[in-house]
Amino acid sequence: MPKNTETKTKTGTKTGTKKAPSSSSVTKTAGTKTGTKKAPSSSSVTKTAGTKKAPSSSSVTKTAPSSSSVTKTATKKAPSSSSVTKTAPSSSSATSSPSTAKNAAGSGSPSAQKKTPKDTTGERHHFAAEVGRLLDLVARSLYSNRDIFLRELVSNASDACERLRWESLTRPELIGDNETLSIEVTADKNTLTVRDNGIGMNRDELIANLGEIARSGTERFLAGIGGKNGAAQNLPEMIGRFGVGFYSALMVADEIVVRTTRAGETQGWLWRSAGGDFYELKPLDAAHSRGTSVTLTLRDDAREYLESARLERVARDWCDHIAFPLHVEGRRVNQDGALWRRPKSELSEARYTEFYRHISHSLDEPWYRFHFTAEGRISFTALLYVPTLRPFDLYDPDRGVHLKLYVRRVFIAETGHGLLPPWLRFIRGVVDSEDLELNISREMLQRDPAAARLREALVKRTLQELETKAEKDADGFADFWKVFGPVMKEGIYEDDGFAARILGLARFSSTAATDGALVSLDDYCARMSEGQEAIWYLTGEDLSQMSRNPRLEGLAARGEEVLLLTDAIDEFWPSLAGSYSGVPFRSVSLAASGETAPETPREVGDDVGALVKALEAKLGGEVKSVRVGEGLRDSAVCLGMLPGDMDFNLERLLRLNGKLEVPPLRILEINPDHDLVRGLASRLSSGGEDEEFGRLAVDLLELARLREYGAPSDPALFADRFARLLSLTFHKN
């Protein structure tokens, strides 16, 4: 009678998480903040004033089907004594799990029909669970990439070799003279065979390991030697842990035939199944050397796997770092084990660089690398690289992380695992975990605490390495920041616990820096003048124009430094970070006129007061108001704003992208000590508010707009007015 089916439900819900403004697109909407914040990206900047519209909370819930939906009811009505009685399977068909059967990911197309084994002269067994529908589910639903079947079978073979190596430590006679453990993949007509000279299986192990789905012999082996809960030390690195991967072969095969001989025994056995409710088991007549061969009779739509080039490509993609030699049609296709698991002393700089180029598909030299093994709450090995040049997809809107994840040297995924946050997406390399459990689909990680601990450990180690590099090589780190700083600043916006450390690493242009040098926030705070209460910053696009911004003149007179921020993400993170080391961030654009002025206030005559009132009257709805600019020293005019108004740089970005329907009104600030303003005030006193004064008032406003936005509101009209002013100059002469 089949065993009761367990029903497991896993629910993962992620709600209200900020998605960082990616450096590739910047979107901002005016009004109110709602829910989560979706960040902009620095390559395509589309902003809508004021409001950050949050994406709806994502909720991911997966519920396993109830046992009734997967298997037939275990209890059947007993037949009466007069009814025909079928012979039950013998107790020897009670099952365990495949010693090397494993998880796999993906789904492929199954065989349209289930076939009965061709030769029924051997023992005919029911599977130990009602597996007709389950095998169909394996082939139809669990796998999204048919190539994975080869990874599963090769990983099983690797486990068999590893298990033999382990057992031979105490029983050397098991390995005998055949000490070179290896795996071979061969194709012949319509069959594909994966063979190893590992531990092999006897009759009872075949029934236990292949007679029931989803119980792993590897798991039993580890548990048997005390390794399941980490009790034993120096355990063999077994790959298979779940017990389904073997049956992924049904994606491409009409029939599976296993021939195997257990190490230390002479009798070989044959196991055959076409994926139905029965499998055949019988002794092998001919001698079969130690190990296991799995032969697949390929389906018509899977004949591509008979081609040597196709097989080699699949083997290299999925099995490149199996610990034992892997040969496809006689050619060695994998490397000598996993490079990242070798001692650093054995690896040259050239070998490290070669591996970086192999995994990153780049031709540049790595700017920095760190190779380490972690043990404790979670055990893993990582070899991570920081590129010198930007990866071509760095500003892709998906913000995907390309980090190869292995579990016990078996490749699982390169993207979608979430082991690094998007703001570290420039990192390339490999991570090989000993602790991660795998979902029924190998392409998806379980949402378990081990994955979260691994992510945290990787992020902390990466930041630690960058901090060390910044301390030892300031110039080199500044070059790194110019390339990848805009991406890392997304992490300040997301603020998943690392914002303070990212701010410590951040580098900025500054009014106090020369020759393009960058400064840190620690440098800035150390240079703050006495009585300075804020970290001043100005956002914009062009450093040369920003350094001549009229609003900097008053702060320069006070000896206060201003950070010049030119990345699109800089519009967002300062308000969210709030402060650094207790000192608040303060935008020069948002500061009131008096906040950036020298301590000694200006004395303004009555003629300037009259000019302010006259300009307000003439300009009407073109400005909010006119006022004396306390911070102006060299410039005649500039535009000002009130707290809560749209920032000038944001307005400029929206203008460039055609997203600004109604330009906001600004304050016109005038410098009463400038010759232009004094001349206009004098003309007003002598000639009154005539038609010419009105034209000059508009010209003054257009001059301020030209300084702020790089263009007047109406270039053609401004050109005509400028020509008129020039002609007046010549007329006077």
Query: 143-161, pLDDT tens digit by residue?
Result: 667 888 898 899 889 889 9
Residue 523: CB atoms within 10 A of its CB come to 16
Encoded amino acid at 178, one letter: N
Same domain? For 730 and 613 the reply is: yes
CA 563 – CA 571 distance, rounded (Å): 13
* Cα–Cα distances in angstroms (integers) from residue 349 to residues 354, 373, 386, in the given order: 9, 19, 15
Domain of residue 727, CATH code: 1.20.120.790
Domain that holds residue 674: 601-733
How are the residues of the chain apportioned to helix, strand and coil, as percentages rounded to the nearest 5? 35, 20, 45
- Nearest CA-CA partner of 399 in 133, 3, 100, 19: 19
Give the residue from 313, 332, 351 where a domain finishes.
332
Query: 268-277, pLDDT tens digit by residue?
Result: 999 999 877 7
Strand, coil or helix: 26: strand
132, 136, 137, 139 alpha-carbon torsion, rounded to 10°: 140
| 192 vs 66, higher pLDDT | 192
Same domain? For 247 and 140 the reply is: yes
Q: Are the C-beta atoms of 273 and 122 separated by less than 8 Å?
A: no
Look-up: residue for tokens 């796997």? 305
Look-up: residue for tokens 């007069």? 82
Same domain? For 362 and 288 the reply is: no
Q: Are the C-beta atoms of 437 and 354 separated by less than 8 Å?
A: no
| 692 vs 375, higher pLDDT | 375
CA 507 – CA 565 distance, rounded (Å): 10
Residue 611 lies in a domain: yes
What's the whole-number mean pLDDT along residues 486-504? 91
Residues 6+ apart with CB under 8 A from 139: 107, 108, 109, 110, 111, 247, 248, 250, 251, 275
Domain of residue 151, CATH code: 3.30.565.10
Confidence grade of residue 367 (pLDDT, cut at 50, 70, 90): very high
- Nearest CA-CA partner of 647 in 568, 544, 559: 568
- What DSSP line would sit under 257-317, residue for residue? EEEEE-TT---EEEEEE-SSSEEEEEE-SS---SEEEEEEEE-GGGGGGGSHHHHHHHHHH
Residue 525 lies in a domain: no
* Cα–Cα distances in angstroms (integers) from residue 351 to residues 265, 332, 365, 370, in the given order: 43, 19, 12, 14
CA 586 – CA 613 distance, rounded (Å): 30
pLDDT higher than 80, residue 125: no
Element (H, E) at 667: strand 666-670
- Nearest CA-CA partner of 627 in 650, 597, 655: 597
For residue 411, list its beta bridge partners. 406
pLDDT at 179: 82
Same domain? For 318 and 353 the reply is: no
Residue 484 lies in a domain: no
Residue 289 lies in a domain: yes
Residue 478: CB atoms within 10 A of its CB come to 17
Between CA 103 and CA 106, with CA 104 as vertex, the angle to 5 degrees is 145
CA 157 – CA 239 distance, rounded (Å): 10
Residue 80 lies in a domain: no
Give the residue from 317, 332, 347 where a domain finishes.
332
DSSP code for 705 = H
Same domain? For 50 and 120 the reply is: no
- Beta 19-21 vs 38-39: how paired, if at all? parallel
| 582 vs 397, higher pLDDT | 582
Same domain? For 292 and 441 the reply is: no
Predicted TM-score (pTM) of this structure: 0.64
Confidence grade of residue 47 (pLDDT, cut at 50, 70, 90): very low
- Nearest CA-CA partner of 407 in 672, 140, 708, 104: 104
Same domain? For 246 and 359 the reply is: no
Give the residue from 332, 351, 381 where a domain finishes.
332
Residue 173 lies in a domain: yes
- 3-class DSSP string for 502-570: HHHHCEEEECCCCCCCCEEHHHHHHCCCCCCCCEEEEECCCHHHHHCCHHHHHHHHHCCCEEEECCHHH
Residue 307 lies in a domain: yes
pLDDT at 4: 38
End-to-end Cα, the chain, rounded Å: 113
* Cα–Cα distances in angstroms (integers) from residue 255 to residues 183, 512, 576, 674, in the given order: 21, 75, 61, 92
Into how many domains does the chain fold? 4
Element (H, E) at 492: helix 490-494
Same domain? For 293 and 223 the reply is: yes
Structure tokens that stand for 187 in this block? 């194709």
Structure tokens that stand for 322 in this block? 């199996």
Strand, coil or helix: 82: coil
Same domain? For 414 and 462 the reply is: yes
| 311 vs 42, higher pLDDT | 311
Domain of residue 366, CATH code: 3.30.230.80
Radius of gyration for the chain, computed over Cα atoms and rounded to the nearest angstrom: 36
Query: 427-453, pLDDT tens digit by residue?
Result: 999 999 988 765 434 445 656 688 889
Residue 233 lies in a domain: yes
Q: Report how many helices (DSSP H) and strands (DSSP E) the chain contains, helices first.
A: 20, 29
Confidence grade of residue 298 (pLDDT, cut at 50, 70, 90): very high
Residues 6+ apart with CB under 8 A from 143: 104, 105, 106, 107, 108, 149, 248, 251, 441
Please state, rounded to an integer, the average pLDDT across all residues of the chain: 77
Same domain? For 328 and 377 the reply is: no
pLDDT higher than 50, residue 49: no
Same domain? For 131 and 98 the reply is: yes
Structure tokens that stand for 51 in this block? 């409001």
Same domain? For 303 and 448 the reply is: no
Q: Are the C-beta atoms of 271 and 279 separated by less than 8 Å?
A: yes
